[in-house]
Amino acid sequence: MKEEHDAAGSKNARPGMRKLLTLILLLLSVAAFIFGIVRGEPKTVYRKGANICMECIGLG
């Protein structure tokens, strides 16, 4: 049975295409991660998590 793959996993894709796609996705994810840190999202997530925990155990 003949297997067919998409562009990222194709046996017929140009050499290095999968590596290029991986690199682009990695760079985009790092950029999104840094953007979230710059916006102060870790503080927001921590605050919301702490509030939910306090409510769950009945302290809040």
Residue scoring higher pLDDT (20 or 50):
20
* pLDDT value of residue 4: 58
Q: Which tens digits make up the pLDDT trace of 1-20?
A: 555 565 555 566 677 899 99
Q: Which tens digits make up the pLDDT trace of 23-46?
A: 999 999 999 999 999 999 999 999
Q: 11-26 burial by CB neighbour count: b if 16+ within 10 A, else e? A: eeeeeeeeeeeeeeee
Residue scoring higher pLDDT (34 or 57):
34
* pLDDT value of residue 7: 55
Length of the chain: 60
